[in-house]
Structure 1
Amino acid sequence: MNAPAEIPVLVVGAGPTGLTAALELSRLGVPVRIVDRAAAASPESRALAVQARTLELLRVRGVGTEMLPLGNKAGAAALYAGGRKLAPIELHRMASDFNYILMLAQSETERLLAERIECQGVKVERGVEVTAVRGLADHAEVTLRSSGGSEESVRAAYVIAADGPHSTLRKSLGLQFPGRTLPHNYVLADLHVDGDIAQDQVSIFLARNGFIALFPMGEGRFRVMATDPDEVAGQMGEPTVEHIQLLYDRVAHIPARLHSMNWSSRFRINSRHMKTLRSGRVFFGGDAAHVHSPAGGQGMNLGIQDMINLTWKLAMVLDGRAKPELLDTYSSERLPVIRKLIRFTEIGTRIFNSTNVLVHAIRIRIAPKALGRNRIQNTAASMFGQLSADYRGGEFGAGDRVPDVDGLYDALDLSALTLFTDDGAALDVARRWDGVVSTRADRGGGWLLVRPDGYLAAAGDAGDVRALERLLERWFVAPV
């Protein structure tokens, strides 16, 4: 084994989470390597839903707009039971330009991200796995083994573990992954559906003996997810199209023929998350840090947003503009978001999965009444789109999502904090923190400090810049 190679950041795992980390770090000028044990990218769609918040963040990073013509937009999620439509969840209510769920195969999301990072000078190193990791005070030492058997020692200032639910890095460091496996059996498939099933909404059919959800991928193709409490699809092997048809026919009232299946699988739901997203020089994100029910199509988006939170902080610490303590806010900010989402998906899973006669009767009666209220519709839509996620109560600043209106995100400095103001006192502070803070004209009378990830850091009235100065002094390094 040769002398250790040195790199500021090593990313382990080339799914959407790891690719987003490499995308952001390379864009910010941080030398990065990204490795993945798989010899090639997976052709399967797996994660499907790209939510509004993810699209907002990726658009200004050169990827989101390219996704739109490749995916299929769903503006609602409709619930059916007893041969009738109960109510829709009106996703078009989301306060975003992307007021829908974009149905796009994960393989396409990964391809777009990989192509973008290649344009930024980084290529995924495939067939390379981690065999050992050792965390030291000022770096991490990682042993990599290629598919040909050769080994390499890498000395990295920081490591990002995005290597999935069976994370080698998490296990090597002896870290726990607490949670539970939910008791229900599921099947998943991508196939074509001939029938009067809407192509612009998610259709969810509820019954006493389970549920089936159809996610429209465009041109008659659907992702189908169904619970199988009676093991209609058996216990072994991949479910056949005939199995899926049986599950559909016993729950859905709209006649349809299922055919031309691309792939299928059976699974149980794990609901788990780490108690901290950091172990010394190693940060965890995506499925390596949290797994949960696929209800609502939230998982991939959560991992992408993990990295949007982490990478700007990492870049500013590495180039000396921020104090190392800033990196601790990654875990403290993201964990409450993760815990809330896991609770949300578990509740939804329990409601949809129940085969109890009483529970089924209650959900049929309650759903139309609840979803007939504007407040509940608005809340549900915002949660689905991950627009309601915030960092309030955290150590770093205000934490509210700043809406991307009137081209605001196009005005952000994605490598530093952006101060929107015309206030002289605030502008004087910004000049003293040049390189940490960029300024943009704003005639609102006060000032707004916005993070590169589109969340509010601080705000104040004209002339009152004490909160601005305190935040900068707490987390950042003033230029000499």
Structure 2
Amino acid sequence: MTAPTRIPVLVVGAGPTGLAAALELSRLGVGVRIVDRASHPSPESRALAVQARTLELLRVRGVGEEMLPLGNTVRAAALHADGHRLARVELSRMPSAFNGILMLAQSETERLLTEQLGRQGVKVERGVDVVSVRDDSRSVSATVRSAAGEDECIEAQYVVAADGPHSSIRKALGVPFPGRTLPHDYVLADLHIDGSLPEDQVSIFLARSGFVAVFPMGHGRFRMMATDPTGVLAAHGTAPTVAEMQELFDRTVELPARLHGLNWSSQFRINSRAVPNLRSGRVLFGGDAAHVHSPAGGQGMNLGIQDMMNLGWKLAMVLDGRARPDLLDTYSSERLPVVRKVLRFTEIGTRVFNSTNPLVHALRVRMAPRALARDAVQNAAASMFGQLSAGYRGGELALGAGDLGAMRAGDRVPDTDGCYDALDLGALTLFAGPSAGAVVDVVRDWEGIVSVRDEGVSSGWLLVRPDGYLAAAGGPGDGASLERWLHRWFVRP
């Protein structure tokens, strides 16, 4: 084998998470290679939902708006039981310009990310498998094998492991993946449904035998997820047929419909797991390599992409010496609480929807309309589904960072009045009001760390991160506290 190839970052896995990592790092000028063991991208739709928060972040990175015309946006999620609609979650209440859930096949999301990555000068290396990895605290040595059987040694300063739920990197490093497999069996299929199902809402049908959920993909195509209450389909171990999906549909849904045109299907059990830390030395885990959970709510792919939006700017600033190395530790300390909350939410939702206990069924039929009649519940549900309520308030990076009115460090900054278009996506951005001249003077010594925008704030100032979260905030007299916070995490030029 020849001498090792030295690069700043190796990304392993070219699903949405790995592509987002390479996209963000290359955009920030970091030398990156991305490899994937599969010889071709998967043509299957797999993950379907693109949430509002993901679209907000991808829009300013050249991808989000391009997604919209290719998918089908749903504005509500309706619960049904016993032939009646129980309640409806108004997803249009999301506090975002993208106030709905975009149903777009994962294959299309991957294609758009890959094309943008290509425009940034990076090509996915396919048919390349990582056969060994070693972290010696100064760098990570990885041996990769091409489809032709040729080995190459790569020495990277950091590795981003985005190689899926069966991550070879995670296993090679002995990183635990605690959690559990939920007991029930499920089926999933993409097909056409002829009937009266609306194409602008998710429809969930609850019954004593389990549930059926249908997600409209547009033009009469739907993703259908259902309980396999008897376990018969799981027992024979083959992909469900149209006839079997029709039987499950008819058992639960009291609407006449004809299922046909099956594209693909699968049967599965749900795993709910997460690594105890997203960082192991110089290896950083994200997406399904770090956390897996129920598909309820369409959270998974978005969680992985947002992992990389959190990580990318931090890793880039550490690599070029603008940030202190321990800034990278905040990747795990910020994202893991968000991940664990999603795991709890999806697990509880799956148990409630899947219960065959008649008392539980009666309770959910009675309580759902009452709970969802409240505006506060509607607003909270819409924000949660869109991943707009996720934030990092109270985390280590937010300590000593101040606040301004209701805004606290770690909160999502709404993308209003062109705010995200004004962000420096490679550094912190200070939005300063007319009274914050002394604070502006402080950050002038932090060129390359902070960019100043004399706009957008009537009084005081907001310091916004490249991933659209509030880094720090305060009033005209808070320049000294801002400087202390900057010194804690960054290196003044």
Determine if contact 1:424/1:463 at 8 Å carries over to the other structure.
Answer: no
Cα deviation, residue 148, structure 1 = 1.2
Q: Contact (CA 8 Å) 2:273, 2:291: kept in 1 or not?
A: yes
Equivalent-residue separation in structure 2 for 1:233 and 1:244 (angstroms) = 10
Q: Which residue does 1:138 correspond to in 2?
A: 138
How far has the Cα of 1:233 moved from its partner? 3.2
Shift of residue 411 of structure 1? 0.5
Q: Is 1:274 the counterpart of 2:279 in the alignment?
A: no
Residue type at the aligned position of 2:203: S
TM-superposed deviation, 1:99: 0.6
After the TM superposition, list the runs of 4 or more consecutive aligned residues in structure 1 that deviate by more than 4 angstroms.
Answer: none
1:403 is aligned to: 414
| 1:330 equivalenced with 2:328 (yes/no) | no
Partner of 1:451 in structure 2? 465
**Separation in structure 2 between the aligned mates of residue 231 and residue 396 of structure 1, nearest angstrom:** 47
Structure 1 residue 285, shift from structure 2 partner: 0.1
2:12 corresponds to which letter in structure 1? Answer: V
Aligned equivalents of 1:463 and 1:375: distance in 2? 36
Q: Which of 407, 417, 427 is equivalent to 2:440?
A: 427
Change (3 A) 1:308 1:330: same
Distance 1:285 1:232 in 2: 34
Distance between the aligned counterparts of 1:429 and 1:3, measured in 2? Answer: 47
SS state of the match for residue 458, structure 1? strand
Residue type matched to 2:112 in 1? Answer: L
Q: 1:58: which partner in 2? A: 58
Deviations 1:400-431 (A, max 9, x none): 00000111000000000000004111111111
Partners of 1:233 and 1:244 within 8 A in 2: no
Q: For 2:478 and 2:178, how far apart are their aligned partners in 1? A: 45
Deviations 1:132-190 (A, max 9, x none): 11001211000101111111100000000000000000000011000000001000000
Q: Distance in 2 between matches of 1:328 and 1:131?
A: 27
Q: Give the equivalent residue in structure 1 for 2:474.
A: 460
What per-residue deviation string (whole Å, max 9, x for no partner) do you get for residues 62-84 of structure 1? 00000000000000000000100
Residue identity opposite 1:453 in structure 2: D
**Quick check: 1:44 aligned with 2:58?**
no
Distance in 2 of aligned mates of 1:402 and 1:467: 21
Distance 1:355 1:180 in 2: 20
After TM superposition, give the deviation of residue 254 of structure 1 in Å.
1.2
Question: Which amino acid in the other structure matches residue 465 of structure 2?
Answer: R
Distance in 1 of aligned mates of 2:145 and 2:247: 45
User: Counterparts of 1:169 and 1:125 in 2: how far apart (Å)?
Assistant: 17
The equivalent of 1:473 in structure 2 is: 487
> Is the partner of 1:355 in helix, strand or coil?
coil
Q: Percent identity over the alignment?
A: 72
How far apart, in 1, do the equivalents of 2:478 and 2:173 lie?
46
Provide the C-alpha distance between the structure 2 equivalents of 1:359 and 1:467, rounded to a whole number of angstroms. Answer: 52
Describe the SS at the equivalent of 2:364: helix
User: SS of 1:329's equivalent?
Assistant: helix
State the match for 2:372 in structure 1: 371
Counterpart code for 1:475: W
Q: Contact conserved, 1:189 with 1:264, CA < 8 A, in 2?
A: yes
Indicate if the aligned counterparts of 1:232 and 1:247 stay in contact, CA closer than 8 A.
no
Contact 1:232 1:246 in 2 (8 A): no
Aligned counterparts, 1:66-465, within 5 A = 66-233=66-233, 235=235, 236-397=237-398, 398-421=409-432, 422=434, 423-442=436-455, 443-465=457-479
Deviation of the 1:234 alpha carbon: 5.1
TM normalised by structure 2 equals 0.96
Question: Shift of the alpha carbon at 1:237?
Answer: 0.6
Q: CA deviation at 1:37?
A: 0.1
Deviations 1:423-453 (A, max 9, x none): 1111111110011000001342211000000
Alignment check: 8 A CA contact 2:234 2:268 kept: no
Contact 1:239 1:266 in 2 (8 A): yes
- 8 A contact 1:60–1:410 mirrored in 2: yes
Report the 3-state secondary structure (helix = DSSP H, G, I; strand = E; otherwise coil) of the residue aligned with 2:229.
Answer: coil
Distance 1:68 1:2 in 2: 46
- Report the Cα distance in structure 2 between the residues aligned to 1:98 and 1:75, rounded to whole angstroms: 10
Paired amino acid for 1:306: D
Deviation string, structure 1 residues 353-388 (Cα, Å, up to 9, x no partner) = 000000000000000000000111111111100001
Change (3 A) 1:290 1:234: closer
Residue 466 of structure 1 deviates from its aligned partner by 2.5
| Cα distance in 2 between the residues matched to 1:115 and 1:430 | 37
In 2, Cα distance between equivalents of 1:217 and 1:426 = 49
**What residue ranges of structure 1 are gaps of 5+ in the alignment?**
none
Superposed displacement of residue 463, structure 1: 2.6
Pairs aligned (count): 479
Work out the CA distance in 2 between the residues paired with 1:434 and 1:426.
14
**Which ranges in structure 2 are unaligned for 5 or more consecutive residues?**
399-408
Question: Are the equivalent residues in 1 in contact too, given 2:162–2:285 (CA < 8 A)?
Answer: yes
Separation (CA, whole Å) in 1 of partners of 2:253 and 2:231: 17
- CA distance, structure 1, for counterparts of residue 181 and residue 201 of structure 2: 29
CA RMSD of aligned residues (A): 0.7
Q: What residue identity is the alignment partner of 1:470?
A: R
**Paired letter, 1:360:** H
